[in-house]
């Protein structure tokens, strides 16, 4: 073979090689352009704007972005991932939840529902409940079961345990709550319990009953009586601590004399009396043991408006009988401390409502 022929053959081979390299290169370019879109391009194809893509790339993991390709464009996604309680690990659950309802629903509520593992379907009632001031998550089943269209009624009544009949679902009260322990028709005290030290009330503060009061409540009551007397109001104790046995005989006598309904409206069953705590007392005007006349006195007006400044609440207010389970008692005050008493006074709620939300739920 001649040298020129050899050269020609190697030239053809070279050209073939170049063509081959060119084809391979072309295939590569084609592959990257058509078959191997990057995330930006793929998200953009679904319909996300450049701003949205920027946020998604920043806040989502690669696997989460991959998950997005299973969905059509999600108009709420950018807002959702920017919300305060958004949890990355719940992203798919949020999307599934919103996809079941309409995408204009309240995303903060969706986040709350998903984060709290609430399984009730989204509804106006559920949203209103969750948004309510005194909503307690652990009571959600009871709210949903409660037969009322009014959200405030549902919250108030379930928080006060009114979905159970009085004395139908009773439990020992949690005495670790100390001055905030509750005693009512659902919570009772052990036979021998009273809070702190019981101190005999000095006759200067007492209508000759010889009653005792827990020292913390007694100190507050003395200050209250002293301050009131400086303004010309003469408030005295008419009945403070009562033992279980004493309450038992009191309640039994009322029941014999006036029947069960009357006894339950105006007196507590033994163990269920706030007087057994040592933190409650009935007050009257100096020298007057009558409870009924107290409401008409100037002392009552002063107590009603000032008792909270000393840590006492009017425990059985007018209009709240259905919650407390007792008739209106303008004479009965309970020590809970100044801050709590002030909150209850300013917000016009009962101790039942306060206790459910702030003490049992939060402490």
Could you tell me which stretch among 34-42, 90-98, 171-179, 328-336 binds Zn ion (CB under 5 A)? 328-336
Determine if residue 311 is left, alpha or beta; phi over 0 gives left, psi from -120 to 50 gives alpha, anything else beta. Answer: left
Among the listed ranges 67-75, 289-297, 325-333, 353-361, the one in contact with Zn ion (CB under 5 A) is 325-333
Which of 140/280 has CB closer to Zn ion? 280
Quick one: tokens of 266?
A: 């105006």
Q: Are 359 and 337 in contact (CB under 8 A)?
A: no
| Vertex 328: Cα angle to 324 and 333 (nearest 5) | 80
Which residue, 359, 360, 308, is CA-closest to 333?
308
Q: Indicate whether 332 belongs to the interface with Zn ion (CB under 5 A).
A: yes
> What element of type H or E holds 282?
strand 280-285
Per CB under 5 A, 315 contacts Zn ion: no
Q: Is 329 a catalytic residue?
A: yes
Are 81 and 91 a contacting pair, CB within 8 Å? yes
- Residue 120 contacts residue 140 (beta carbons within 8 Å): yes
Rule CB under 5 A: say whether 282 interacts with Zn ion.
yes
SS3 193: coil
The catalytic position among 329, 346, 353, 360 is 329
Closest to Zn ion by CB, 52 vs 299, is 299
Residue 264 in the binding site for Zn ion (CB under 5 A): no
Q: Which of residues 167-206 bind Zn ion (CB under 5 A)?
A: none
Q: Which stretch binds Zn ion (CB under 5 A): 48-56, 73-81, 125-133, 330-338?
A: 330-338
272 binds Zn ion (CB under 5 A): no
3-state secondary structure of 148: coil
The helix or strand, by DSSP H or E, that contains position 152, with its residue range, turns out to be: helix 151-159
Segment lying near Zn ion (by CB under 5 A), choices 129-137, 182-190, 248-256, 327-335: 327-335
Nearest approach, Cβ of residue 248 and Zn ion (Å)? 16
| Cβ at position 180, least distance to Zn ion in Å | 18
Counting every residue, how long is the chain? 363
In angstroms, the CA 73 to CA 163 distance is: 45
**Residue (206 or 282) nearer to Zn ion, CB:** 282
Residue nearest to Zn ion (CB): 332
Binding site for Zn ion (CB under 5 A): 282, 332
What residues act catalytically?
A: 329
């Amino acid at each position: 073979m001649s040298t020129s022929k050899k050269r020609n053959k190697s030239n053809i081979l070279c050209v073939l090689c170049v063509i081959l390299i060119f084809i391979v290169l072309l295939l590569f370019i084609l592959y990257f352009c058509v078959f191997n879109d990057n995330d930006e391009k793929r998200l953009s194809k679904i319909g996300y704007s450049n701003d949205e893509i920027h946020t998604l790339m920043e806040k989502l993991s690669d696997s989460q972005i991959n998950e997005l390709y299973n969905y059509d464009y999600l108009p709420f996604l950018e807002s959702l991932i920017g919300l305060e309680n958004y949890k990355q690990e719940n992203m798919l659950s949020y999307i599934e939840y919103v996809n079941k309802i309409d995408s204009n629903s309240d995303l903060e509520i969706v986040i709350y529902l998903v984060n709290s593992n609430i399984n009730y379907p989204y509804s106006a009632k559920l949203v209103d409940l969750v948004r309510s001031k005194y909503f307690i998550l652990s009571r959600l089943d009871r709210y949903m079961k409660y037969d009322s269209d009014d959200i405030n009624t549902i919250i108030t009544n379930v928080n006060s345990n009114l979905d159970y009949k009085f004395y139908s679902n009773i439990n020992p009260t949690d005495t670790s709550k100390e001055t905030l322990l509750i005693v009512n028709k659902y919570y009772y005290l052990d036979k021998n319990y009273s809070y702190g030290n019981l101190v005999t009330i000095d006759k200067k503060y007492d209508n000759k009953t010889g009653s005792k009061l827990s020292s913390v409540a007694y100190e507050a009551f003395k200050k209250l009586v002293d301050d009131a007397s400086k303004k010309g109001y003469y408030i005295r104790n008419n009945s403070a601590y009562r033992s279980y046995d004493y309450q038992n005989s009191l309640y039994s006598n009322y029941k014999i004399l006036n029947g069960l309904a009357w006894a339950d409206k105006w007196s507590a069953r033994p163990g269920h009396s706030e007087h057994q705590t040592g933190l409650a007392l009935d007050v009257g005007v100096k020298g007057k043991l009558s409870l009924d006349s107290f409401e008409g006195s100037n002392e009552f007006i002063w107590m009603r408006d000032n008792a909270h400044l000393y840590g006492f609440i009017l425990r059985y207010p007018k209009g709240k009988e259905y919650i407390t389970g007792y008739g209106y008692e303008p004479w009965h005050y309970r020590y809970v401390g100044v801050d709590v008493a002030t909150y209850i006074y300013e917000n016009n709620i009962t101790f039942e409502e306060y206790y459910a939300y702030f003490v049992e739920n939060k402490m």
